[in-house]
Each structure stands twice: as structure tokens, then as C-alpha cells.
Copies of this chain bind each other. A is one copy, B any other.
Amino acid sequence: MEPVARWEPDSRGRLGRAALELFAERGFDDTTVEEIAAHAGVSERTFFRHFADKREVLFAGSGNLQTLLVDAVIAAPRTASPMEAVAAALESTGPFFEERRDFARQRQAVITANAELRERELIKMATLASTLADALRQRGVKEPAASLTAEAGIAVFRVAFERWITDSQRRGLSRVIRESLAALRAVTAEA
């Protein structure tokens, strides 16, 4: 039987919440891993079992998001147009983020407040776009359609995500994504 001290239910989740609380309170730069671990009631060693560094707490979900998007593009029906495949992929992230709405909102505030994190977030989004373009090319979509669809899709996602997080009516993310895509179609048609 494990000693009680080693029994740490959901220490990863607790570390995430503790980190966001401290980042919001003191700023990202002025928060140490030691403080995050103490706030979560775990050891630093436990922190490093879950995350490489404090920035990783904010970006550890990127890999899951990327897998979710690529799998959905690949799984879209053969008859789906490139933008339909991307739209389905973006909308499929709804449940993933709805479960983490508070985390996502706090995370966004921390990132907006810090130039280095904003840059990291831009790189993450650019990587997502280029991975989506790869997935579309695997479906046989040619250039420049693949890159344009992927880039436009990520632009829709970013705008929709920002709206979803600040939406006082708490509409679902999938719905806000659909509305943003319709708005993109409207502005693009007028040129």
C-alpha cells in the first residue's frame, strides 16, 4: 500500500489551477515553480513529473488540440470540401474547451498580459495552421487551397475563441465557430 503522502489525486489538474491563480495574481514572470507546487500542496518534484517548466502548464494542451484537429480533418467524409473538413475539425474542439472554460479564460488573460507568452501562442497557432494544411494535402487538396483554407480556418478559430471566452451569453464554442465562419464567408464574398 502506498503511503498517504504519495496519494495525490489529480495533482496535474491542481497544479494547473494553482499556476493560473498565481500567474493572474503576481504575473507569469514573478511566479516560481516552487510557489506553484506549494500552492497546489505538492512537491516541486511532482510538478516536474507533469511539466517541463512553468510555461508548459499553459501550453501542454497544444498537442491534444493538434491531434484532435488533424484526426477530424482526416476523418471528414470524402465528399467534404476542404473548408467543410476544417470547419468540422474546429467545431469538434467544442467539448474539449467547454470542459475547460474557466481554465481557458484565465489562461487567455495570462497570455494577453505577457509579450513572451503572446509570441509562444502565435507560434502555436502557426504550427496548428501548417499541420492542418498538411492534413488537407493528405486529402488531396492542392496549393494554394490547402494553405489558404488552413490559415483562414485558424483565423476563424482565434476570433471565435476570443469571442467565446468573453461572451456574456455563454453560447457554445462550436456555435460561435460556425457563426465566425459564416462571417468570414460574408466578408470574403464581398470582394
Q: B-contacting residues of A (Cβ < 8 Å)? A: 81-84, 86-87, 119, 122-123, 126, 143-145, 147-149, 151-152, 155-156, 158-160, 163, 180-181, 183-191
Measured between C-beta atoms, what is the minimum distance from A73 to chain B in Å? 13
Q: Contact check: which of B126, B143, B163, B188 meets A152 at CB < 8 Å? A: B188
Whether A189 touches B185, Cβ cut-off 8 Å, given contacts A122-B122, A144-B159, A155-B151, is yes
Whether the Cβ atoms of A87 and B155 lie closer than 8 Å is no
Whether the Cβ atoms of A191 and B81 lie closer than 8 Å is yes
Measured between C-beta atoms, what is the minimum distance from A158 to chain B in Å? 7
13 pairs across A/B with beta carbons < 8 Å?
Answer: A81-B190, A83-B190, A86-B191, A122-B126, A144-B159, A144-B160, A144-B163, A151-B155, A152-B155, A152-B187, A181-B191, A184-B188, A185-B191
